Chains A and B, each alone.
Chain A
Amino acid sequence: QSALTQPASVSGSPGQSITISCTGTSSDVGGYNYVSWYQQHPGKAPKLMIYDVSNRPSGVSNRFSGSKSGNTASLTISGLQAEDEADYYCSSYTSSSNVVFGGGTKLTVL
């Protein structure tokens, strides 16, 4: 069982917006602004999409945005595109100086 809880799957049509949630506790997500999000296509290494809750690395589309409220972080993808279909993982720093991941969410673009 993963330390952070994500929905197993989400789906949306091209052009729509979707949000993936990531729920933890006050010892991880809720306690630090150190939540990050990764995109992983099959057979590929993960790609950093968001770090420190809402920061986008250079080169990542501004269609991707992150936020946090309490113990739940969220990744929103607007203007959904076929290339966005992938697995998405959240992660957080913890009070134990650990890094924990969510179980992953499979995004399907209909």
Chain B
Amino acid sequence: QVQLQESGPGLVKPSETLSLTCAVSGYSISSGYYWGWIRQPPGKGLEWIGSIYHSGSTYYNPSLKSRVTISVDTSKNQFSLKLSSVTAADTAVYYCARHGYSGYDWAGYWGQGTLVTVSS
């Protein structure tokens, strides 16, 4: 059974960089699939942040592209998110997920989510 677990600071100061890691168990990232990050501000809807192929190719939401970096570490079977210059608008529950084998348009496995608050 594929399982994903997000980890990282729950509080980030404005203008700093948000960093999260998603540890994957039950499946080897290097074997395939797309992997991604989706967020949900409190009480609001879902927003796709970006995705990465197991080979390292990345795809980002145009509205966040200038601030987002997603990377993969196959040796640790995990992938990471960095979001720079954060503001209060970046406060959200951040989910990591496994997409499909041939695309990132849907996500079949999700982590439990981690709340990141941007505040001084």
Q: A45-B111, A45-B112, A45-B113 are in contact. Are A101 and B106 (CB under 8 A)?
A: no
- Assuming the contacts A99-B48, A102-B45, A104-B45, asked whether A48 and B107 have C-beta atoms less than 8 A apart, the reply is yes
Contact partner, A48, options B47, B104, B106, B112, Cβ 8 Å: B106
Asked if A7 is at the interface (CB within 8 A of a chain B CB), the reply is no
Cα–Cα distance between A6 and B19 once the two chains are bound (Å): 32
Q: Is the CB of B46 within 8 A of A38?
A: yes
Would you give the 0/1 interface string for B19-54, flagging 1 where the beta carbon is closer than 8 Å to chain A?
Answer: 000000000000000000010000001111001000
- Judged by DSSP, the binding face of B is loop
Sort chain B's interface into a size bin: 20 to 34
Which residue of B45, B47, B62, B110 contacts A45 across the interface (Cβ within 8 Å)? B110
Contact yes or no, B62 A98, CB < 8 A: yes
- Contacts across chains A and B counted by CB atoms under 8 Å: 58
The answer to whether B46 touches A101 (Cβ under 8 A) is yes
Given A57-B108, A98-B62, the answer on whether A103 and B103 have CB atoms closer than 8 Å is no
Taking a contact as CB atoms under 8 Å apart, the answer to whether A101 and B45 are in contact is: yes
Any chain B CB within 8 A of the CB of A2? yes
Cβ-based interface call for A93 (8 A): yes
In the bound complex, do residue B61 and residue A98 qualify as a contact, i.e. CB atoms below 8 Å apart?
Answer: yes
Binary interface profile of B, 95-113, with partner A (CB < 8 Å = 1, else 0)?
1000010011111101111
Minimum Cβ distance to chain B for residue A66 (Å):
11
